[in-house]
Structure formats: structure tokens, C-alpha cells
């Protein structure tokens, strides 16, 4: 007798299987004849591990238009607007917006998020708010917090001190933004400093690195060296890495092996990178996305991140990681069937690896979190960005949606239409 059986679903690897759940664990995967307290019929539907977002800014989420709209659409105007908002936003306001977004995330099967929290202001209200949100969503959503010195570790007088304060408060990942320091030298020194902090505290390290169109912004080289020096390996991630789209190929041929040697991960954010980058170009306009396929070919774990939803930097977004993968697929030109399937893995398994999630997956012993999608395969899920028919978090059904076929009134044609294709 199981608490829950998800019956007859198609797994991402193409197998058709039942999934038996007891408590918060998957205990059996295969053909299950036993009964259950509840059965979800998933025959013909894709059953996937939950979606994972390794790069987000939840302290700013759902604040679009506050204090006003980003008229230029640039990264720097977005940072300036956020600087105004964080000075007046209350703990309660930030927590309320974040909790509303977490509701969206759960409805889309997004059950693990790493969010950067701005530690620049001395009041640290954002840190206080996100720690409260983390506590409240813990029963159903895994939230990792990054101590992120938005204005630079050294650029503000208390930047370094506030990062340490946030870590002492319970934030569990060290952040950074070397290209926003006053000089290239200070940017490199900030990376050396932050790597020591992460190593000494035994924490993960996630850096906004080279989020710029400047091909001479090469902080990722220093970051890779520090990851190797301190043995951080996959505990470290370079986010954005957009300057790589402008670097010459000879330098990149040296750089990518250094990144691979270090064992660090990479997190491009396609929705935001292609929106914010290239704003100073006329034509041709640069894509603004790092070299995803080349990094993967070298053995680097690369995961797609969402970054922003309805905030000073991005005016759209729905908490759907399939939107992120869909855009990444296009911009990175990953259109071979194997590459499209890899894009789905990037927002599930690969992102789980980036975040260091334990007991993630659809095998016995894993935490019983999964999503049933109205699609037949990972590639079809990318094409359709379909409804989530059921979302299970830690053994409990937390979201459901009726199948929503469209009714047709056409002479001689079917009564309903679905965009699924065998």
C-alpha cells in the first residue's frame, strides 16, 4: 500500500513506468500492482523531476514599475532603479512579493530556487525578508540564498562587512560582482577575497561574473584560478559570463579549458542576457549569451537560469523554466534533438547539480518531488511549454490543473484540438 502512485507516466529517458511514493520518498519505479491512498493517472504524459532555477533575484521580483519603468532597458538603469527601491521597500513588502512568486513557481513545478539577495544597504532588510520567506516555503520549496554585494564588495564602504553579516545571519552561498568594482584590479582582488571566505566557511560560491559586452572583462579567468586554488570545484558557479560572446576565439580556446579544469559550473540567463546585452550596438547586434555549447563540449556543467520576473531589469516572466530553456535553445542554436533534450536536462538535472541538491530525481530513495506535464517527451515539453497537470512536492500534491483541450466548431473536423504531436 502506497500513499501515492503516479501511474503510467513517460519518464524523461523514454521509459513508461509507475512511481510509488510513501511519505516524502519514492520507494518504487516500475510496473506497480499495489494499491495507493491516491492515484494520479499519467498515461501518455511526461513525468519529470521538478524544475530548478539556479539564478534569481527574489528581493526585487514583481516590482516592475517601481519606482518607475526602466526606460532605456539597460542593466545599469535597472541597477539604479533597484537602488532607489531597496532604500524604501519594507521587509513585509519584499516578503509578500516573494511569497506570491513562490506560489507561481509551485504552480509551474519549479520547486528549487537559488536567489541572490542584495547585501549593499546596511539595513539588510532584503536579507531579513528572504530568510523569512525561506522559512515559510521550506515544507514545499527549496530556497538557497546568496549574499550578493550588488554595488560591489569594495565599491561601497560596508560592502564586505555586510556580506559577512548576511552569512552570519544564515545566508548559505557567497556572491560577488567583480566587473562592478572600480577597477579591474579591485575586481580580481574581490574574487580572491570571496573565494577565501567561501573556502574557509565551507560554503558554495556563485558570482555575477563578466555581465558585460566588454571582451576585456576577463574576471572568469581569475575566478577559475581561485576555484582551482581552493578546491571549490562544482561548489562554485560563474553566472552570466556574457563577455565571452565578445571575446576572440583564440583567447576563449585558452579560457574554456581553465574553466573546465576548475570544475566550476556556468549559469547563463538567456531571457535576461539577450534583453540587457548589446544595448550599445547598432548592427550587427550581439546575442549577449555566453558560449553554452562550447562549455558543455569541454565538460562544464551549464544550467539555464531565469534571473528576473517583472522587476527593474525584465518586464515579463511567468516562473516557467521551460520558457527559459526555449529561449536558450533558440539563441544558442541548440536545435538537434539531442541538444533540445539537453536543454530540458539543463532546467532539471543539470540545475539540480549546480545547486548541489541531494536526493533529487526519479529513482527509489529520492525525495518524492515531481511534475506531470501535458506533453509526451522533453522535446515536446519545450515546444509546447505545456500545462502542469500535477505537481508533487515531498510526497504531497501541491498543485493540479485540468487538461485544457481547445473546443473547435469547424464543419467536418474534430470537436477538440491538442497541439501534442506523436
CA distance 345 to 69: 34
CA distance 414 to 412: 7
Instruction: Single out the catalytic residue among 211, 226, 261, 294.
Output: 211
Q: Length of the chain in residues, anyone?
A: 422
- Residue 111, C-beta contacts closer than 8 angstroms, at least 6 positions apart: 50, 51, 52, 105, 140, 141, 142, 369, 391, 393
DSSP 84-107: HHHTT--HHHHHHHHHHHHHHHHH
DSSP code for 252: H
CA distance readout (Å), 172 to 13, 48, 116:
33, 27, 11
- Contact, 305 vs 347, CB < 8 A? no
Q: Is 93 a catalytic residue?
A: no
Q: CA 353, 312, 287: angle at the middle one, nearest 5?
A: 60
Give which of 296, 308, 328 is closest to 57, Cα–Cα: 308
Which residues does the annotation mark as catalytic? 211
Amino acid at each position: 500500500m502506497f500513499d501515492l502512485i503516479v501511474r503510467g507516466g513517460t519518464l524523461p529517458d523514454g521509459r513508461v513506468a509507475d512511481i510509488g511514493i510513501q511519505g516524502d520518498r519514492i520507494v518504487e519505479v516500475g510496473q506497480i500492482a499495489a494499491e495507493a491512498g491516491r492515484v494520479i493517472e499519467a498515461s501518455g504524459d511526461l513525468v519529470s523531476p521538478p524544475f530548478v532555477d539556479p539564478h534569481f533575484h527574489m528581493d526585487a521580483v514583481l516590482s516592475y514599475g517601481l519606482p518607475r519603468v526602466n526606460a532605456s532597458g539597460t542593466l545599469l538603469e535597472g541597477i539604479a532603479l533597484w537602488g532607489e527601491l531597496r532604500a524604501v521597500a519594507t521587509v513585509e513588502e519584499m516578503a509578500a512579493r516573494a511569497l506570491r512568486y513562490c506560489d507561481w513557481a509551485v504552480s509551474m513545478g519549479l520547486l528549487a530556487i537559488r536567489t541572490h539577495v542584495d547585501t549593499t544597504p546596511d539595513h539588510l532588510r532584503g536579507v531579513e525578508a528572504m530568510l523569512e520567506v525561506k522559512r515559510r516555503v521550506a515544507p514545499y520549496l527549496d530556497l538557497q540564498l546568496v549574499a550578493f554585494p550588488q554595488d560591489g564588495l569594495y565599491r561601497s564602504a560596508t560592502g564586505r562587512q555586510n556580506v559577512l553579516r548576511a552569512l552570519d545571519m544564515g545566508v548559505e552561498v557567497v556572491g560577488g560582482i567583480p566587473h562592478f568594482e572600480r577597477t579591474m584590479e579591485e575586481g580580481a582582488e574581490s574574487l580572491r577575497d570571496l573565494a577565501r571566505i567561501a573556502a574557509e566557511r565551507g560554503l558554495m560560491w556563485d558570482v555575477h561574473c563578466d555581465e558585460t559586452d566588454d571582451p576585456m572583462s576577463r574576471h572568469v579567468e581569475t575566478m577559475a584560478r581561485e576555484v582551482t586554488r581552493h578546491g571549490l570545484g562544482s561548489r562554485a558557479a560563474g553566472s552570466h559570463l556574457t563577455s565571452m560572446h565578445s571575446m576572440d576565439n583564440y583567447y576563449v580556446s585558452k579560457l574554456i579549458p581553465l574553466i573546465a579544469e576548475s570544475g566550476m559550473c556556468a549559469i547563463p540567463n538567456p531571457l535576461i542576457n539577450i534583453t540587457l546585452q548589446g544595448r550599445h550596438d547598432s548592427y550587427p547586434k550581439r546575442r549577449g549569451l555566453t558560449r553554452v555549447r562550447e562549455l558543455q563540449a569541454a565538460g562544464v556543467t551549464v544550467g539555464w537560469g531565469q534571473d528576473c520576473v517583472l522587476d527593474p531589469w525584465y518586464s515579463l516572466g511567468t516562473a516557467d523554466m521551460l520558457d527559459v530553456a526555449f529561449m536558450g535553445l533558440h539563441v544558442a542554436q541548440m536545435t538537434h534533438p539531442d541538444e533540445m533534450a539537453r536543454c530540458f536536462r539543463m532546467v532539471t538535472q543539470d540545475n539540480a547539480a549546480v545547486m548541489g541538491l541531494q536526493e533529487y530525481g526519479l529513482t527509489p530513495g529520492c525525495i518524492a518531488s515531481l511534475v506531470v506535464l501535458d506533453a509526451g517527451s522533453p522535446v515536446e515539453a519545450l515546444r509546447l511549454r505545456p500545462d502542469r497537470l500535477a505537481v508533487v512536492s515531498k510526497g504531497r500534491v501541491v498543485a493540479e490543473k485540468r487538461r485544457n483541450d481547445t473546443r473547435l466548431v469547424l464543419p467536418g473536423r474534430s470537436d477538440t484540438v491538442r497541439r501534442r504531436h506523436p
